[in-house]
Amino acid sequence: MNYKITADQTHMREMNLSSVLHLIYSEAPLSRAQLAARTGLNKSTISSLVEDLLGRKLIHETGINSNGTGRPATLLEVNAKVGGVIGVELGVDFVSAVVTDFLGNVLQRKQISTDPAASQEKTLGLTLALVEDTIAEYGDMGLRILGLSFSIPGTVDLDKGVLIFAPNLNWHNVPFREIFYHSTGLKVFIENDANAAAIAEHLFGKAQHLKDFIFIFAGVGLGGGLYLNGQLYRGKGGYAGEIGHTSIIADPLQMPCHCGDLGCWETYVNQYSIIQRVQTRLDDRPSALISSLMDTQNSPITISIIKQAADAGDRSAIDALAEVGKAMGNGIAGLVNIFNPEMIILGGPITIAGDHLLPSIRKSVEKHGMQEIVMQTVIKISAFGPDASLIGAAAVVIDDILTNPTHVEKEVVAGKRLHPIAV
């Protein structure tokens, strides 16, 4: 027996299986004949691939197309209920967990607060408890879980499932896959927060069918997901997209960054910077509106309060947001000049105030970018707003299944966890 030919044939079949599932995922409903026309594969191959995907319950038949010319055809679409996907976002002062279906629709969401000054062990312990609670509640519905994924504000080793460095948490070398596989038995993924969000936008957000776009995740830090030429660009070591740690503003305005450098772009545009700019204005001229919002909500100044104040016409809030939009636009102009993207998508906590940021971002990009390139770029707020990287975590599992449909087994007892991997 020629093992090489067998291996090649198996590989080819898996690639075809993935192509057919991708097409159904992004363009359903489709008939078998349409799939054959779109892929160039013959009808019997398509029938066999479709049978395989039906057997894994990744797709189902959804009715008959009888309004065209020719024979009526059975249409296929993705089975959203094939199982649940758990996504976890590790923030600086919170951890969120979400369960989505196979189409990224949110079925369940939980969030806990964490203390940025607490030990890594304590925060990991709280995260583990949150994940176990989420699994228990979802498992009670008798549905299977397809995988668990973490969205991390920093650099990650995808293959080993290790967090390498998260500057704003000050965590180094945390073996997420090992820790969470041992406690849950699930297949565990880890991804940078902005990359995860970019994957979500491409699968079911604002960048569907786009080949070149950049996702900017803005919260405590600022990260980039570079989706170039139809693929997420990872760079040599997998760390590409750390746009927030680009030193773009000259002395004497440089501020210290958690990465250890001075004057990083993110220090001028992150959520602390917005709050600080409002605070400085309030020190000079107190705002009755902001004080009253803080009193009523029993809260310190937050992005949400600043947004509400700006909506009501508060000058300090409006001016601070415009200033941050300008600094954000400065950096985006550089990205637009370098990469000529079709779209820039902004997501993460600061997009709560997105309507107030966007006009000054656009103005600044137009001013500092090269006109002929800027004309080809649209700037939008993420479909998932502040939850972009949380939904992104779930998207990472879905993307893995679309690439490797055989990761979903054919015969699964309801409630059973799927496909654990060796670590």
One symbol per residue from 374 to 413: x for binding Zn ion (CB under 5 A), - otherwise; what is it? ----------------------------------------
- The distance of closest approach from Cβ of residue 122 to Zn ion in the complex, given in angstroms and rounded to an integer, is 25
- The distance of closest approach from Cβ of residue 263 to Zn ion in the complex, given in angstroms and rounded to an integer, is 8
Cis peptide before 420 (omega within 30 of 0): no
The Cα diameter of the chain in Å comes to 83
Nearer Cβ to Zn ion (212/242): 242
Site for Zn ion, residues 254 to 273, rule: CB under 5 A: 257, 259, 261, 264
Nearer Cβ to Zn ion (30/269): 269
**CA 254 to each of CA 129, 156, 268, 304: distance values in angstroms, whole numbers, following the listed order:** 40, 27, 9, 27
- The distance of closest approach from Cβ of residue 153 to Zn ion in the complex, given in angstroms and rounded to an integer, is 12
Nearer Cβ to Zn ion (68/260): 260
Nearer Cβ to Zn ion (36/248): 248
Nearer Cβ to Zn ion (22/272): 272
Residue 76 structure tokens? 């296929």
- The distance of closest approach from Cβ of residue 247 to Zn ion in the complex, given in angstroms and rounded to an integer, is 8
Nearer Cβ to Zn ion (106/259): 259
Nearer Cβ to Zn ion (244/347): 244
Burial (CB count <10 Å: 0-12, 13-18, 19+), residue 96? buried
**Measured in Å, how far apart are the chain's first and last C-alpha atoms?**
32
Tell me how many residues contact Zn ion (CB under 5 A). 5
Nearer Cβ to Zn ion (31/270): 270
Site for Zn ion, residues 160 to 189, rule: CB under 5 A: none
The rounded distance, in Å, linking the Cα atoms of 393 and 19 is 22
Nearer Cβ to Zn ion (100/270): 270
The rounded distance, in Å, linking the Cα atoms of 321 and 328 is 10
The rounded distance, in Å, linking the Cα atoms of 36 and 43 is 6
- The distance of closest approach from Cβ of residue 334 to Zn ion in the complex, given in angstroms and rounded to an integer, is 16
Site for Zn ion, residues 55 to 74, rule: CB under 5 A: none
One symbol per residue from 225 to 254: x for binding Zn ion (CB under 5 A), - otherwise; what is it? --------------------x---------
The backbone torsions φ and ψ at residue 57, rounded to the nearest 5 degrees and listed phi first, read 65, 20
φ/ψ bin of 77: left (φ > 0), alpha (ψ from -120 to 50), beta (otherwise): beta
User: 211: helix, coil or strand?
Assistant: coil
- The distance of closest approach from Cβ of residue 259 to Zn ion in the complex, given in angstroms and rounded to an integer, is 3
- The distance of closest approach from Cβ of residue 166 to Zn ion in the complex, given in angstroms and rounded to an integer, is 12
Any idea which residue has 């902004």 for tokens? 346
**Strand bridging mode 378-381 / 343-347:** parallel
Buried b or exposed e, range 277-296, using 16+ CB within 10 angstroms:
bbeebbeeeebebbeebbee
Cis peptide before 29 (omega within 30 of 0): yes
Nearest-10 crossing angle of helices 303-311, 315-339: 110
- The distance of closest approach from Cβ of residue 175 to Zn ion in the complex, given in angstroms and rounded to an integer, is 25
Nearer Cβ to Zn ion (264/318): 264
Q: Which residues contact 46 (CB under 8 A, 6 or more apart)?
A: 20, 32, 35, 36, 39
- The distance of closest approach from Cβ of residue 269 to Zn ion in the complex, given in angstroms and rounded to an integer, is 12
- The distance of closest approach from Cβ of residue 222 to Zn ion in the complex, given in angstroms and rounded to an integer, is 9
Q: Which residues contact 372 (CB under 8 A, 6 or more apart)?
A: none
The rounded distance, in Å, linking the Cα atoms of 110 and 134 is 8
Using CB under 5 A as the criterion, which residues of the chain lie in contact with Zn ion when the complex forms?
A: 245, 257, 259, 261, 264
